[in-house]
Amino acid sequence: MAFGPLVGFVAAGVGAAIADLVLGYGSFAPLTLIAHGSLGLLAGWLGWKKGWSGMLTCLIVGGLALVAVYFVGEATVYGFGTAGALAELPINLIQVGLGILGILLFQLVKRTYPQIEQLAGGVTFRSED
């Protein structure tokens, strides 16, 4: 939400995929990259500089994308079937629910360091004529 959709995709997707690799769930890393990356992309796009309403919207929409990607991937690619993917649904919803902590953390950082939102705008130079 602070840096936009591209950074959101990379930070969420790569970070979560690395966590899967480190914690011994390496086979899920590609799916996690796509699922969490989708959440980060949508959160960055919908929540970027839009305040609380945008952030809550991004959590819901991004969370639905994460759950959908995991559901389809687990049911088809990983061969869990519909029943197996449904069994994983509560765990995936918990991951989305914990996103509220990220929103709260972002708000605390923004309150302490309001310039954080300017970091995503790119660097500009002024000439001293």
Higher pLDDT, 128 or 41: 41
Q: What is the 3-state secondary structure (H, E, C) of the chain?
A: CCCCHHHHHHHHHHHHHHHHHHCCCHHHHHHHHHHHHHHHHHHHHHHCCCHHHHHHHHHHHHHHHHHHHHHHHHHHHCCCHHHHHHHHHHHHHHHHHCHHHHHHHHHHHHHHCHHHHHHHHCCCCCCCC
* pLDDT tens, position by position, 63-84: 999 999 999 999 999 999 999 9
Domains with residue ranges and CATH for the chain: 5-117 (1.10.1760.20)
pLDDT band at residue 121, thresholds of 50, 70 and 90?
A: low
Residues 49-62: tens digit of each pLDDT: 666 667 788 888 98
Quickly state the pLDDT bin for 107 (edges 50, 70, 90).
confident
Report whether pLDDT(115) > 60.
yes
Higher pLDDT: 37 or 56? It is 37
Global pTM value? 0.81
Q: What is the mean pLDDT of the chain?
A: 87
